Structures are given as C-alpha cells and as structure tokens.
Structure 1
Amino acid sequence: MKDKILLKHKILFSIFGVIILFSLVFGTGMRMAIKQIEQQIAKSNNASLQVYYNTLQSEIERSEVFITNTVYHNDAFDQFLALREDPGRSPFVGEIMDRFSEELKDNQDVAAYLLYDTGTGVRGSVFNSIVGYGSVKEEITDSFGTFLEEEEVPLGWFIKRIGSRSFLCRVMERDNTFVVGIYDLPQASKNAKLFYSYEGEIVFFNNQEIFSNEDFIQKNGIYLNYLDDSDYYFSNSKNYMVVQKQLIHFKVALISEFYNSSVVLKFLYMSPYLYIALGFVTVWILIGYLKSILFRPMDSLVQAMQKIEEGDLNVRVEEQGGREFQKVQQAFNHMISEITTLKIKSYEQQIAREKAQLYALKMQIRPHFFLNCLKSIFGLAQSEKIG
C-alpha cells in the first residue's frame, strides 16, 4: 500500500514538473523565435529603406552638382549675367529654364528649380509634373523671393517651412542671382510609396519637427527617437517598428505596422506569455493540490492532538484529503474512541472498587461501634452502682 501511495504521488509530481518545464522552455524558446522574427523584419525594412536612402542621397548629390554647374559652369547663365541690363537676355532665361526642366525629368523627387535675380527682379521657375501644386506654386515662388531679398540665406542644405509643408532646399548665389533647388518632403514620402511600394510610411524628422506624414504620426501616437542609432526600435507597445537613417541634418525613417500586421504574428508574440501563464497556473494547481491532500489534513490532525493534550477527548477529525489521509484520520478517530472507552471503563472500575472498599469499611465499623456503646453503658452502670 505504501509503495502504491508513493508511486501515485511521484507520477502526479512528475506530470506537474513536466508541465512547468514545458511552459518555461517553450515560453523562452518562443520569445527567442519572436526576437529572430523581429530582427528579420527589421533587416528587410532596413534593406528597403536603404534602397530609398541611396536613391534620395544620389538625387541630392546630383542636385548639388547640377546647381553648381548651372551657376558656375553654364554658358547660358554666364550670358544671363553678362546681359543683366539688356532686355534681350530673355532667350538665355528660357535656356536656363529648359535646362531645369530636363533635370526634373530625371530627378523625380526634386519639386522645383527656381531662378531669382534680386538685382533686376527677373524670376523663373520650373515645377515637377508629379507634384501638381496648383496655387501653392505661387506661394513657393513668392515666399522664396521675399526670403532671398530680406533674409540671410543659410549655407548648404536647409529646411524651410511654407504653410503646412516642409521643403529641403539648396541655394547657390552668383552676383546677386540665386538658383534654388527644392525637395518637397511630404511629396517625397508619397513618391517613395509610389515608386517602391513600401509596407509602411516614409517620415522625415529631426529632434524638434516632423517634416512629412505628420498626420499619420499624430493619429497613431507614434514616438520617434532621433537619437536612437540601433537597427530598429518599437513605438506604441510594438504596434509599429521604426528603422531610420541619417540624411544631411535630419533622419528618414520607414515606419511599418508590426504587432497588428498579422494574426499569426500576434499569436506568436503572445505565446510566450501564454506558456508562462500556463506554468503559473500549474504551480497554483500544484500548491492547491498539496494544500488539499497534505497541509489541511495535517493541520487538522495537529489541532486535534493539541485539544487531546488539553484533555478534550470529545474531539474528532473531519475526514478530508486523499484516501491515504482519510484512512489515517479514520484510524485517529477510532483510536480516540477506544481511548475514551477505555478511560470510561477504568473510571467505572475505580468507582466500583472504591464503593466496595467503603462498604467493607462500613461493615467493619458497625460491630465495633455497637460494642463500644455497650461498654460505655456498662461502665456508666457500674459507676452508678458504686456510687
């Protein structure tokens, strides 16, 4: 019987142990697998962003070379400056504009090229056909005209906001004549989606501002970390994965939905927590099992023994726990009953013995008392007679 009991508990504890080990091992394994999935998706997104980054960087470099060549190494521009006071220089303006138009055909992310002669007020502009600005064209032209005449022009590439749009700009000047190349960053983000079909959104930003897809960022509450140089990071409790690269003095980021992008991915991501929860539930069940078959019956026995030690033989143990403990409790109750019966019989025998002794004592006392009484009477009579 003892061997069967031990075997039963060994099997139960082995099952609990296997479940807990399974939960821990598979939970850890799935977490590592999810980490690998994260890294693979981030690697893919980084590769996609790298393609666009390389394209954008080459376009910016090409614009830099184009503007430099136009300002310093172009015959039409030289003639335009040489004939500044001559009304007949307009053909050279047209030639410069044609040169701008040809460049826009091959450099799709450039929104416009502008020409400003602040000395004579001559202006020219060419806009990319994809942009389709409408009335915004006049805003851009007028804004840059005022900007070049009234403000100190920054060196190199810089960001300029006109209305609700942000523009990446490059200005070169020669003899108070400026050539301006403009990247419309919101449109550049749309072009990236159009030309490269990214699973996500392209965002330009720096520490203070978001230059494109601002509505998308605000709507989803996405946090962008300009100082993060890791391969990827998550925003909004892993709802969005962010990969980013430095471009001039701002960053370009590819933001893709991660956690909610796939039901399978969501399940895989939750599975480690499910396995860990299974382990905790198993431990809780094991503790409850031990409490029901061991701790409660043991406490009950200990309390009963304390009452017996205090002299209370009426106490009985409630049968609970496993069959083994129930048998122990039945034996304990039977033992207490036998002890109570034996004690009662002992009391009864002792009382009977005391009664018999008392009766015998009474029988011994009665004759002597009668004889003494007679002797006393006889003694009194003799005394009366003598007197």
Structure 2
Amino acid sequence: MGRRFPHISWNSIRLKLVVGLFLVTVPLLTLLIYSNHYSINVVHNQVAISNKNLITLYMSQMDTQLEAAEKNILSLTTSNYDIQSMDTPISEDDYQLAKYNLSQNLSKDILFYNSIDAFFIFHNGRQDMLEVIQPTVTYSERVVVENYLVSHLNQLAISSVSTASNWYVKEIGSTHYILRIIKFGNLYIGSWVKAQTLLGPLSLMDLGTKGNALLISSQGEAMIHTKLFQDKQVDLTRDFQQYYLTGSHDHLLVVGEKSRKGDFSLAAVIPDEQILQHLPKISQLIGWLSFAAIALLPLSLLFMHRILLVPLKRLIIVMKKIDKGFMNVRVENYNASDEFLLVNQTFNRMISQIEALKINVYEEQLNKQKAELQHLQLQINPHFFMNSLNILFNLAQVKNYELIQEMTLCLVRYFRFMFRSNLSFVSLQEEVQHVRNYIRIQELRFPNHLTCTIDYPDFLETIQVPPLLIQTFLENSIKHSVTLEEPLHLSVSLDLQETGLAPYIDIQIRDTGKGFSDDVLANIRSGNRIVDDEGEHIGIWNVKKRLSFLYGEEATLSCYNGFPNGAVVEIKLPYQENE
C-alpha cells in the first residue's frame, strides 16, 4: 500500500505557523532577489546602451566607407570613357590603352579607401583580370582571391544570374571576404575587402579586457573577432534590435548593428564578470543574503518543528486517545520549553482528576442502574400476586384440595424465584423451570384452554439470561389472548445463531391468539408505554429497559404478527461465555 499522508486541518496551528513563516520570509526573499536582479538588469541596460551606441557608430563608419567605394565603382560605369573602350574596344591597342588608364586611376583612388583591400575589373570574354590591391595584401592571398574571383565571375556569367545589389560575404579558403560586383556589358567591376580589414579599427574600441568585437554573417557565423571565444554555445543568429544574453549559462551580453550596405552585422560580446565587476557591493550582498536566507529556511522550519510542533503533536496525540476513552494515558516527560512543561504537568494533573471523578460517577451510575433494574423486575410481582390469590380463592370454594396443594407448591416455587430475581442474570435452566412452573399455574387457572411447549438445545442450559425475560411475554399473551372459545397454544424456542459477525441467542415466543394491534406495534417500535382501556401495560417496556441496561445496543427486541395469526416476540441476546 502507498504511504498515506496525514490530513492537516486548515485551522491547525501547525499549518498556520508554517504558512505564517512562509508569508513573512518568501516576500522578503522575493524582494531581495528581485532587487538584485533589478540591479543587474539596470547594469545590463546601461552597458548595452553604451556599447550599442559605440557599435552603431563604427557600423555607420563602415557603411560610409563601403558606400564611398561603391559610388566609385558606379562612377566608372557611368562617366569613364576607358570603361566603355575596355568593354567594346576598337582594336587591341585601344583595349590595352583603356586598361592602362583604368589601372592608373584605380591605383590613385585606392589610396583614399583604407577600408577597401582591392578594386578589380574582369573581362569575361577575354578572361582578363585587372586588379588594384592595397600594399598590405600579401601576394599569396592576392593569388587565392584572384583565382576565386575568376571562377566566381565565370559562374555568374554562365548562370546569367544578376549580380547582388549590395555587399555580400564569401568565404575564400578559411577567410571571409566582403564583395561588391557590378556588371557592365562584358565587364564585371567590383571591390573586395577582407573581414579582418573592416574589423581592424575596432581593436581600438574599449570593450574591456574580456570584451569581444566581431563581424557576423547573415547566417549568424562569426567571420572575424578580436578575441577567441571560450564558450561554444554562443548564439549569434538573433535580431540585434535589443540586447540579449547567451552562452552556456547566459553569462554573455550581446549587442549589435546590422549593416545597411551588406548582409553582415557588427556585434560586441561582453561577459557578465566584466559587466558586473563594477556593480555596487550592496547588490552582491543582497544576493548572498537571499541565498543564505533560502538555505536557512529549512533549518528554521526544523527548529520550529522541534521546539514547537513536536511537543504540540505529543499533546494532541494524548488528547485524541483520551477522546477515544483511554483515560489512563498521560503526556510523557520530554525535554521541552518551560511553557510546554507547565502545560503538560497541568494537563496530566487535570486528566487524573477527571479520571477519578469519572470513576466515581460511573460507580454511582452502576448503583443507580442496579437499583432501577431491581425496581423494574419487582414491578411485575404485584400483578401476578393478585391473580394467584384469586386462583386459590376459586379452588377453595370448590374444595379441590389436591389442586390447592399443587397450586400452593407452584406458588412457593414461583415466589422463591421471585424473591431472588433481583439478580441481574440466572441460568437458562433456572429460567425455564420458572417458566414451566408459571405455565402450570396458568393451566390450573385456564384448564383445557392453554398449552405450552419449550424447545432449546441442552448445551444452552448454563448460559446466563435476565430473569423473568420469557415470563413477561407469556403473561402478556395469556392476559390478552386466552378465551373460552378457542384454546391458546404458546411456544418458546431458543437457539444459538451464528449468521452475523458475532453469535447470538435467538429467543422466539409465539402464541395462537389474535396478535398485536397496529397501535400496539407502533408504540412498541417507538419505545412508548402501552396504555389502553385496561390501563397501563409496562411489561414489554420494562423488558426493553432492562435489556438496554444490561446489554446496551447489543440486544434487540422485535414484535410482529405471525402467519396466519398470533403474536410473535423475538429477542436476540449476545452470546457470552459463562464467567
């Protein structure tokens, strides 16, 4: 079976104390944690705004330089005669002269574009490349880039795909380059710049000792950066409209700006340890206090549990046992606070006094019930006494001395039993003998009009039953059912039944008379005394009262009419071993 959790009342002091502790500590902890996070967010915002402005400024400068280079290329296609001559030369000399003039012009122009690594003009038909490159570009790099451009431009020519309308990123070897190409007839005029060249001035940006500036492609790939990344989980694919935190533990702040002239972005990545190193000491103290309070909360609950809830629980357990009737339990001596020691001592003393008082009251109730039981039993005697004297008187009138002798002996046995009937119980054998003696008296009173049979197993002879239990109902049947027209038969049967949870003695008393009236049955079932024209009949009420005194709710008495006629009284007594 699964473990059952104890039910806790909403009105329990334990619940109130725990809830009260949480209601006090949780808001304070929440306020401390919120204050700490708010301070961190303020610092993040300030750092993000400052670096966002710086990144935007540098990105604007890059876009300005790329735009100037782009305008220089466009001016060649619109106003330069040599470009037209190189595209559709009249002769080979005309082509070579135009190529020479363009080389001279581009060599002069490139001196004004420090952020541009090269200008180039490629004739697709001739497969001839004119390239003007900055002195900082090495020969090996020039060859690699030139070979890639020839291949790339030939693919553009074959596929008839229009050139991009903006600067775009290409990875050549393991290096990223930014290209701008314009098609003019058979010519491809363009410029390229290495990502590292654009990022060079950013090394002067003050991002701190651990800050990192980098160029990012449209796919979120870092093309070049000022410092190496230690964290491999940096996400650079998000939008740069607002700053965000990334990394394995969200410890890196990222701000950036997208280029207006190309499909790349400039971003700054700054670790939290650098951002928060200037955070006021109070924010760090608040953080430590919050974690300390959270760590101490279980200890506080444990302390409260031992000091307050455990003594209270012991007291509640004892009170519940007392409520179930175990008056002999006491609160044991435990180490507890002075207040609980005083409560426990006072409680134990009070329960001892209540127990003594309860015992005295219980004994008084037993004596009262015993006296009332004797009174109920003796209430039957005067009724029968009058009938007995009347029988003797009638026999004396007819001078039937033999029956007078028999009647007298029966009365002697009857009254001997009655004089000792103040006992609470007698054996079934004694009760049956008394019933038979009583029936014989009634047979002498109503000769040839009354018969009776008593049936029970021998092993029940020694069981204890209340005295006069059967006689009461036989007397009631004789009183209300004997007539001179038809004889009355009485039957008494006793047996041990085990159909329920506990065995019981089943006693059934039947007669062949007219049975109970509806009013009488209603009064019997409601527990009322029966009153009719002949006066008050207390026999059945007395028996029910006696059974209640002796057995409580374990004994039952029911009355009903049998089929086809006659009254039936059924009594069920709990079976008890002889003690």
The answer to whether TM tops 0.5 is: yes
- After superposition, the CA RMSD in angstroms is 3.8
Select the residue among 158, 163, 167 that pairs with 1:154. 163
Aligned 1:1-387 pairs, distance under 5 A: 22-81=28-87, 83=89, 85-87=91-93, 90=96, 92-130=98-136, 132-152=137-157, 154-157=163-166, 158-189=168-199, 191-198=200-207, 199-207=211-219, 209-213=221-225, 216=228, 220-226=232-238, 228-236=239-247, 237-247=249-259, 248=261, 250-261=263-274, 264=277, 274-281=288-295, 283-309=297-323, 310-311=325-326, 313=328, 315-335=330-350
Q: Deviations over 1:201-246 (max 9, x none)?
A: 22222136544349946853211234x2532111113322112222
Equivalent position SS for 1:212: strand
Quick one: distance in 1 between partners of 2:205 and 2:294? 47
Q: Which runs of 5+ in 1 are unaligned?
A: 1-13, 351-387
TM-score by length of 2: 0.50
CA contact (8 A) 2:203 2:226 kept: no
Q: 1:336 to 1:94 in 2, by over 3 A?
A: same
- The structure whose Rg is larger is 2
Identity %: 15
Quick one: distance in 1 between partners of 2:321 and 2:196? 85
Quick one: distance in 1 between partners of 2:112 and 2:38? 46
CA contact (8 A) 2:169 2:264 kept: no
Quick one: distance in 2 between partners of 1:323 and 1:104? 94
Q: Deviations over 1:46-97 (max 9, x none)?
A: 1111111101111121111100112321244345456563336545434423
Q: 1:268 to 1:209 in 2, by over 3 A?
A: farther
> Aligned AA for 1:244?
G
CA contact (8 A) 2:40 2:276 kept: no
> Aligned AA for 2:120?
L
CA contact (8 A) 2:44 2:275 kept: no
Q: 1:223 to 1:177 in 2, by over 3 A?
A: same
Q: Deviations over 1:92-141 (max 9, x none)?
A: 434423332333333222221112122334322122234x3441211111
Q: 1:47 to 1:215 in 2, by over 3 A?
A: closer
Q: Deviations over 1:27-58 (max 9, x none)?
A: 32222221111111110111111111101111
Q: Deviations over 1:296-338 (max 9, x none)?
A: 1121112223344543526342334422112212333455567
Q: Deviations over 1:341-372 (max 9, x none)?
A: x68x98xxx9xxxxxxxxxxxxxxxxxxxxxx
User: Which structure carries more helix by proportion?
Assistant: 1
> Aligned AA for 1:254?
A
> Which moves more between the two structures, 245-254 or 162-171?
245-254
Q: 1:160 to 1:16 in 2, by over 3 A?
A: closer
> Aligned AA for 1:166?
H
Q: 1:160 to 1:256 in 2, by over 3 A?
A: closer
Residue-pair matches, total:
333
TM-score by length of 1: 0.71
Equivalent position SS for 2:224: coil
Quick one: distance in 2 between partners of 1:197 and 1:106? 26
Equivalent position SS for 2:236: coil
